[in-house]
């Protein structure tokens, strides 16, 4: 572990903008949420009203939590229900990216060899990456605690909430450290790390709706299980610490028996010549993105199946709960199951938005790696090269959205006995496709005109997600929700179809893609 401290300083230097951005984003989100909830649900009476109308809706259990403390509602209970899961998810994502960036992804550059050739211990890079990630999660927890306390939330509950968010985030840092040892590439490691995060998210949701024991298989379950503001159970935090310890030890043990730059899975020889698919630019783009697309396809389809299969429970539980009559009345004409399904499908759309951004930015990463230079020095125009990857982005994004709807519809059709749901849900999912493509358009626009600012596409996705997920709790004015392309998508099947906004979104996406590629044609290609 020699030189760990030096490597920590190197990481802090390299990420001197990235780390504060995460910190400010997460803490800022908590600050506005705490402010809003404090002013809206500051009295116990208001909190009881929240629980009666929104909080006890079993459909929301999937995307909020089991609702600890709903028997004696306070503003703290509302805060936990509205923010905890999402902040823990965001902290988890942050940790997945950070750990991979400084371990497995770094090994793909020759920098890692250079670093390891100096007086640096075998474990130092992994330990340094985990130490920085832990530090940032601690900083997030401290920031979350500070802004929450500032609005007068009780101390014990606030400490529990903040600590749980930081620990859940770090737990996924630890799982990614393990994934980084197993996967063959940095891309594979980040895929595996995110897949574990997504799986944990879905399993926790199903657990809380159907089988509480399942929730305890995931860090989310242990984090929410601390019951902040509702009679804290501090031992669950100890469980998270233990999980992080075991993950770290596993990662270190694996890293000691692995070659630098290789995964634990052996490398097989490939074909001696290119097949017909690889020879075409679109085929090559498909070949390069294939693994990612297939991974996403499995994930989105499974998530859809899970969400769809729970929808019927929502209906049943609702029948036992006359309190929800008000809520039903709010979404005129739609059944609770439909409202839930519309939410689930919208969520899948946002998730596929993440794929669309990553995939559209593939043009940028191919350029930065120097691969684009090889192809563009051949008689291949910038249009065709740029469109090849985007073709994969477009088709795969639409395909993934469809698969999510198909999964949801399949499961819901099966449990509700209404085969027509298969078509309804698939079509409903397709409604978010134009919004997803707008994200690909934003990424391409940045790629074409300000290639160094392409990470801003992720910021756009984060912004849209926040607008989507926090619109209610933050009481955002209607026009703010319309800033997000997802704000224009009709909530099918809870709402009727509106075609015009979808057509306009589609045209916007096409315009962004076109203008982006025009910019790319006009600019200098970056050197590798």
Partner 1 sequence: MTCVISCRALTKWFGATAALDGLDLDVAEGEIHGFLGPNGAGKTVTIRILLGLIRPDGGTATLFGDDPWADAVTLHRRLAYVPGDTNLWPNLTGGEIIDLLGQLRGGLDPARRTELIDRFDLDPRKKARAYSKGNRQKVALVAALASGAPLLILDEPTAGLDPLMEAVFQDTVLDTVAEGRTVLLSSHVLAEVERLCQRVTIIRKGRTVETGSLAEMRLVSRTTITAELAGDGGSLASLPGVHDLRVDGPRVMFEVDHEALAAVAGRLGELGLRSLVSSPPTLEELFLRHYGDELEHGGVDHPVVAPRLEADP
* Comparison of 499 and 527: residue with beta carbon closer to partner 1: 527
* Comparison of 208 and 367: residue with beta carbon closer to partner 1: 367
Closest distance of CB 106 from partner 1, Å: 14
- Kindly report the backbone phi and psi dihedral angles of residue 341, in degrees, each rounded to the nearest multiple of 5, phi listed first: -65, -40
Neighbours of 13 (CB within 10 A): 8
Closest distance of CB 286 from partner 1, Å: 12
* Comparison of 154 and 184: residue with beta carbon closer to partner 1: 184
* Comparison of 270 and 477: residue with beta carbon closer to partner 1: 270
Closest distance of CB 250 from partner 1, Å: 25
Closest distance of CB 180 from partner 1, Å: 16
Q: Cα separations (Å) of 502 from 341, 489, 492?
A: 19, 7, 12
How many alpha carbons fall within 13 Å on the CB side of residue 385?
Answer: 22
Closest distance of CB 118 from partner 1, Å: 20
- DSSP symbol at 324: G
* Comparison of 37 and 105: residue with beta carbon closer to partner 1: 105
Distance CA 57, CA 414 (A): 23
Distance CA 197, CA 234 (A): 23
Tokens of 268: 């097989």
In our burial notation (b when 16+ CB lie closer than 10 A, e otherwise), range 468-501 reads bbbbebbebeeeebeebbbbbbbbbbbbeeeeeb
Distance CA 161, CA 35 (A): 16
* Comparison of 246 and 279: residue with beta carbon closer to partner 1: 279
Distance CA 415, CA 73 (A): 33
Distance CA 283, CA 392 (A): 9
Please name the residues in contact with 189: beta carbons below 8 A apart, sequence gap of 6 or more.
Answer: 100, 103, 104, 105, 176, 179, 180, 182, 183
* Comparison of 284 and 396: residue with beta carbon closer to partner 1: 284
**Opening angle at CA 187, ends 189 and 27, nearest 5:** 75
Which H or E run contains 70? Answer: none
* Comparison of 333 and 370: residue with beta carbon closer to partner 1: 370
Please name the residues in contact with 279: beta carbons below 8 A apart, sequence gap of 6 or more.
Answer: none
State the DSSP string of 442-494.
HHHHHHHH-GGGTTHHHHHHHHHHHHHHHTTTTT--HHHHTTSGGGGS--TTT
* Comparison of 269 and 417: residue with beta carbon closer to partner 1: 269
Closest distance of CB 176 from partner 1, Å: 20
Q: What is the largest CA-CA distance in the chain?
A: 72
The footprint of partner 1 (CB under 8 A) covers 108, 185, 261, 267, 269-275, 278-279, 281, 284, 287-288, 291, 369-371, 373-382, 524-525, 527-528
Contact 254, 181 (CB under 8 A): yes
Closest distance of CB 99 from partner 1, Å: 21
Closest distance of CB 267 from partner 1, Å: 6
* Comparison of 278 and 323: residue with beta carbon closer to partner 1: 278
* Comparison of 267 and 320: residue with beta carbon closer to partner 1: 267
Closest distance of CB 292 from partner 1, Å: 11
* Comparison of 284 and 360: residue with beta carbon closer to partner 1: 284
Helix, strand, or coil here: 2?
Answer: coil
Closest distance of CB 242 from partner 1, Å: 36
Q: Cα separations (Å) of 238 from 10, 160, 243, 244, 320?
A: 31, 12, 9, 10, 37
Contact 197, 172 (CB under 8 A): yes
Helix, strand, or coil here: 524?
Answer: coil
Closest distance of CB 278 from partner 1, Å: 5
* Comparison of 204 and 364: residue with beta carbon closer to partner 1: 364
Which residue, chain included where needed, has tokens 């709960």?
A: 321
Closest distance of CB 113 from partner 1, Å: 12
Strands (E), 253-296: none
Tokens of 508: 């916007």
Closest distance of CB 414 from partner 1, Å: 38
């Amino acid at each position: 572990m020699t030189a760990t401290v030096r490597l920590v300083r190197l990481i802090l230097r390299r990420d001197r903008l990235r780390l504060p951005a995460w910190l400010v984003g997460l803490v800022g989100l908590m600050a506005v949420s705490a402010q809003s909830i404090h002013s809206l649900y500051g009295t116990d009476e208001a909190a009881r009203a929240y629980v009666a109308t929104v909080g006890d809706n079993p459909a929301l259990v999937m995307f909020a939590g089991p609702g600890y403390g709903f028997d004696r509602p306070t503003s703290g209970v509302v805060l936990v229900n509205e923010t905890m899961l999402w902040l823990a998810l965001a902290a988890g994502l942050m940790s997945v990216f950070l750990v991979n960036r400084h371990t497995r992804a770094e090994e793909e550059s020759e920098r890692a060899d250079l670093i390891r050739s100096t007086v640096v211990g075998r474990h130092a890079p992994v330990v340094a990456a985990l130490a920085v990630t832990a530090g940032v999660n601690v900083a997030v927890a401290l920031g979350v605690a500070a802004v929450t306390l500032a609005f007068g939330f009780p101390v014990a509950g606030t400490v529990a909430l903040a600590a749980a968010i930081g620990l859940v985030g770090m737990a996924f840092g630890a799982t990614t450290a393990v994934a980084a040892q197993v996967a063959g590439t940095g891309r594979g490691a980040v895929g595996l790390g995110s897949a574990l995060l997504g799986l944990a998210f879905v399993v926790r949701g199903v657990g809380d709706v159907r089988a509480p024991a399942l929730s305890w298989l995931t860090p989310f379950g242990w984090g929410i299980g601390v019951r902040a503001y509702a009679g804290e159970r501090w031992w669950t935090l100890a469980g998270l610490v233990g999980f992080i310890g075991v993950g770290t030890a596993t990662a270190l043990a694996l890293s000691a028996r692995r070659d630098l730059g290789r995964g634990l899975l052996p490398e097989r020889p490939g074909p001696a010549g290119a097949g017909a698919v690889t020879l075409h630019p679109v085929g090559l783009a498909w070949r390069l993105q294939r693994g990612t697309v297939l991974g996403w396809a499995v994930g989105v389809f499974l998530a859809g199946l899970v969400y769809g299969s729970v929808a019927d429970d929502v209906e049943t539980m609702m029948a036992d709960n006359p309190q929800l009559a008000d809520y039903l009345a709010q979404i005129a004409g739609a059944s609770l199951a439909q409202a839930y399904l519309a939410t689930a499908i919208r969520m899948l759309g946002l998730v596929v938005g993440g794929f669309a951004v990553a995939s559209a930015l593939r043009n940028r990463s191919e350029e930065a790696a120097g691969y684009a230079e090889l192809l563009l020095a051949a008689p291949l125009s910038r249009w065709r090269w740029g469109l090849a990857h985007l073709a994969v982005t477009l088709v795969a994004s639409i395909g993934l959205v469809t698969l999510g709807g198909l999964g949801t519809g399949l499961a819901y059709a099966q449990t509700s006995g209404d085969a027509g749901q298969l078509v309804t849900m698939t079509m409903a999912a397709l409604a978010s496709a134009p919004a997803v493509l707008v994200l690909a358009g934003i990424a391409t626009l940045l790629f074409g005109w300000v290639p160094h600012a392409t990470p801003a596409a992720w910021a756009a996705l984060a912004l849209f997600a926040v607008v989507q997920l926090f619109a209610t709790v933050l009481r955002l004015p209607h026009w703010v929700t319309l800033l997000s392309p997802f704000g224009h998508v009709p909530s099918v099947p809870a709402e009727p179809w509106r075609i015009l906004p979808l057509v306009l979104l589609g045209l916007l996406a096409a315009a962004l893609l076109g203008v982006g590629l025009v910019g790319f044609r006009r600019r200098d290609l970056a050197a590798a």
